[in-house]
Amino acid sequence: MAYCTQADIVLAKNDALLKQLAPDGAGGISASIITGAITNADAIIDGYMLSGEYTVPLTSPPGIIKEISVGLAICFLYGRSDNTPEQEAVECARWHGILDKYAKGTMSLGAADVTSNVETVTLVNFYDEDQISSDALDYP
């Protein structure tokens, strides 16, 4: 399941711009170009999430993932053109920066899609506290 839809991208950008970025040859918007951009965006998201210990694809992604998917899909659409405005390049970097924070664990999506790679460790106390005097813990 995609994290966003063509309708989400149309809401984010106007039709005239999308007709330029994803032309269908008949004056409209190419659904296949938009779908390809969404697929690429979602693959980038999943790559970051996988390195951040999340199970992908995310089964119940929060709204921010939809926003990132829309943003990255638009980045891919601009990448098809010869002229990407500086503001769009900054936005693309911002989306990657947010994903990097999820991957590094400095931001969290919550526990729903986290994969547990932690092994259970049992600690055994080999010493009885009554058998060790406080003098034994002092170093010379």
- Average pLDDT, stretch 106-114? 70
Q: Say how many C-beta atoms besides its own lie within 10 A of residue 80's C-beta.
A: 14
Domain extents in the chain: 6-137
Task: Determine the pLDDT at residue 120.
Answer: 32
71 token code pair: 């943003």
Whether the per-residue pLDDT at 57 is higher than 90: the answer is yes
53: left (phi over 0), alpha (psi -120 to 50) or beta: left
Q: Residue 73 — pLDDT band, cuts 50, 70, 90?
A: very high
Q: In the block, which residue shows the tokens 């790679």? A: 117
Whether the per-residue pLDDT at 62 is higher than 50: the answer is yes
With pLDDT > 90 as the criterion, what percentage of the chain qualifies?
68
- For every residue of 80-123, DSSP letters joined together read TSS---HHHHHHHHHHHHHHHHHHHTSS---STTB---PPP---
Task: Determine the pLDDT at residue 111.
Answer: 55
